[in-house]
Amino acid sequence: MASADKLINTYVPEKDVFALHFLQSLSNLRTQNPLNSPDKSIDRVRKIKKAAYVSMARAAGGTSRLWSRALLRRAAKDDNKSVRFSRRKRKVTWKISSKRKRSNQRAPVVEEAAERLRNLVPGGGGMETSKLMEETAHYIKCLSMQVKVMQCLVDGLSPK
């Protein structure tokens, strides 16, 4: 299956890359809101969580993966900003198609499970099943890396 490996890229950067991006995000949060700001704790948590996902998307390749593009786009929309996409050769249309056309229909039981997966992976709604699998593999690797980074940070900061 050598040809398959060449087609499917599941390269994930080192943990350090994720850590660096996450710390930068946290630092930005700090400078936006000085220490004595009357932030409700739930807002703080929400901001940290969002910083985690956004920094993960950036560390994992920014706009070069479908899931990270979708994640960054969603985050930017929340902030009323726009995301800068590098020029892509394939034209991406954002129309909502009433009938989702998919070639390579798998067995119904597989498609059903794939539907649930589509709701969990950013940008999954428009992906073909095989593309979805590829994006999912990458997404999972990055997400678990992000969790490791956060766990390390929590462990380092917790009182001994």
Q: In the range 76-135, which residues lie near other proteins by CB under 8 A?
A: 90-97, 100-104, 106-107, 109-110, 112-114, 116-128, 130-131, 133-134
Residue showing tokens 């398959």:
4
CA distance 49 to 42: 10
Question: Could you tell me the CA-to-CA distances from 88 to 45, 65, 74 in Å, in that order?
Answer: 35, 12, 19
Kindly identify the residues of this chain, within the stretch 3-62, that bind other proteins according to CB under 8 A. Answer: 3-5, 7-8, 10, 23, 26-27, 30, 41, 44-45, 48-49, 52-53
Q: Does 157 bind other proteins (CB under 8 A)?
A: yes
Interface residue with other proteins among 17, 75, 76, 153 (CB under 8 A) is 153
Amino acid found at 31? T
In whole angstroms, how close is the CB of 137 to other proteins at the nearest point?
5
Contact 142, 56 (CB under 8 A): yes
